[in-house]
């Protein structure tokens, strides 16, 4: 079946603008995760959704970052007033259920803040 | 919190040789250890994982070993092929309310030369 999809694949924006990144998880997956990967670095956990609720937002770098998930499917990550240090690849993953279950990653959105 | 160290950062081998990538983790309660392969334009794909109740797992040319006492785990690729060239990430999952908060290593760039 279809994997995790993300859009847009690339986003270039100017400093100070808001951006929205979208993630479509695998159908039926209840858990959804957002990660950030800066150039040459590993993936950093941002936020996790169980259904539509986000029990752990501890990885969000600042209050400019927020995320929501509706209908136990699509999730959007919003970055307000973007800064150059927000430039990174933002990756979404989903898993069938909570617990030690395999996470399937999307291809990511490459965000460049000029 | 959990911290994952990954070595080496780059690895160059000749086709047919073996490649070994090592990771150490800090939280002895971590119980799930996946390995992801990241290729340009293809996103991150799970290639193998191991749970803390197992010491070794093998899938064709890929194997992972886990030493819980020493808190390290390794990826072994035998008979390497040029298509194995990619960035490989290890991750560990500390107990976090029952869900998978993956903590990643910084990655290893593997180059397999024909």
Cα(A90)–Cα(A99) distance, rounded to whole angstroms? Answer: 23
A17 to chain B, closest Cα gap in Å = 26
Polymer length of chain B = 114
What distance in Å separates the CA atoms of residue B89 and residue B77, rounded to the nearest whole number? 14
Quick check: A104 and A95 in contact, CB under 8 A? yes
Residue B59, both tokens = 């899938």
Neighbours of B69 (CB within 10 A): 7
Label residues B76-95 b or e (16+ Cβ within 10 Å = b): bbeebeeebbbbbbbbbbbe
pLDDT tens, residue by residue, B9-52: 999 999 999 999 999 999 988 888 999 999 876 778 899 999 88
Least confident of A41-50, A87-96, B58-67, B79-88: A41-50
- Which band of pLDDT confidence, cut at 50, 70 and 90, is reported for residue B97? low
Q: How far apart are CA B28 and CA A25, in angstroms?
A: 31
Residue written as tokens 């959990």? B2
Task: Indicate the SS3 state at residue B71.
Answer: coil
Contact yes or no for B106 and A95 at CB 8 A: no
At residue B59, the pLDDT reads: 94
3-state secondary structure of B84: helix
Distance CA A48, CA B37 (A): 22
Contacts of A43 in chain B (CB under 8 A): 44, 89, 91, 102, 104
- Chain B CB contacts of A103 under 8 Å are 34, 46, 100, 102
Phi, psi for residue B98 in degrees, rounded to 5: 90, 5
CA–CA gap between residue A51 and residue B70 (Å, rounded) = 36
Do the chains contact at A42 and B42, CB–CB below 8 Å? no
Sheet of strand A75-79, all strands in order from the earlier edge strand to the far edge: A5-7, A19-24, A75-79, A65-69
Per-residue confidence (pLDDT) for residue A114, from 0 to 100: 96
Cα angle vertex B89, ends B88, B92, to 5°? 150
The whole-number pLDDT of residue A98 equals 67
- A 45-104 residues with CB below 8 A of B? 45, 48, 50, 55-56, 91, 95, 98-104
Question: Which is more confidently placed, A95 or B94?
Answer: A95
Give residue B98's pLDDT band: very low, low, confident or very high (50, 70, 90): low
- Kindly report the nearest CA distance between residue A16 and chain B, in angstroms: 28
Torsion-angle region of B34 (φ positive above 0: left; ψ -120 to 50: alpha; else: beta):
beta
* Confidence band, pLDDT 50/70/90 cuts, at residue B99: low
Judge: B46–A44 Cβ closer than 8 Å, yes or no: no
Determine the residue of chain A that is closest to B10 in CA distance: A40
- The answer to whether A11 and A63 have CB atoms below 8 angstroms apart is no
Q: Do B43 and A91 touch (CB under 8 A)?
A: yes
Kindly tell me if the per-residue pLDDT of B91 is higher than 90: yes
Q: Which of B44, B48, B103 has the most A C-beta neighbours within 10 Å, making it the best mutation to test the interface with A?
A: B44
How far the first Cα of chain B sits from its last, in Å, is 41
Answer yes or no: is pLDDT of B105 > 90. yes
Q: Which residues contact A22 (CB under 8 A, 6 or more apart)?
A: A6, A7, A8, A74, A75, A76
If one compares A54 and B112, the residue with the highest pLDDT of the two is: B112
Q: How many CB atoms lie within 10 A of CB A63?
A: 7
Q: In chain A, which residues have pLDDT < 70?
A: 1, 98-100
Taking CA atoms, what residue in A is nearest to B41?
A107
Size of interface A-B (CB pairs under 8 A): 69
Supply the pLDDT for residue B10: 96
Best probe of the A interface among B43, B90, B97, B109, by most A CBs < 10 A, is B43
């Amino acid at each position: 079946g279809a994997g995790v999809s993300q859009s847009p694949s690339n986003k270039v924006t100017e400093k100070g603008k808001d951006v929205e990144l979208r993630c479509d998880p695998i159908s039926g997956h209840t858990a959804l995760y957002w990660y950030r990967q800066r150039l040459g670095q590993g993936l950093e956990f941002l936020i996790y959704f169980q259904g539509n609720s986000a029990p752990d937002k501890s990885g969000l770098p600042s209050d400019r970052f927020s995320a929501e998930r509706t209908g136990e499917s699509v999730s959007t990550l919003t970055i307000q007033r973007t800064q150059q240090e927000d430039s990174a690849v933002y990756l979404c993953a989903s898993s069938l259920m909570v617990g030690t279950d395999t996470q399937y990653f999307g291809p990511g959105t490459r965000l460049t803040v000029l | 919190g959990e911290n994952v160290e990954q070595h080496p950062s780059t690895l160059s081998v000749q086709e047919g040789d073996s490649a070994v990538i090592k990771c150490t983790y800090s939280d002895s309660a971590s119980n799930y250890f996946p390995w992801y392969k990241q290729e340009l334009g293809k996103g991150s794909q799970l290639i193998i994982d191991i749970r803390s109740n197992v010491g070794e797992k093998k899938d064709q040319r890929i194997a992972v070993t886990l030493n819980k006492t020493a808190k390290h785990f390794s990826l072994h690729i035998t008979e390497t092929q040029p298509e194995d060239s990619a960035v490989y990430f290890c991750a560990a999952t500390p107990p976090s309310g029952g869900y998978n908060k993956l903590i990643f290593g910084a990655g290893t760039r593997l180059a397999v030369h024909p």
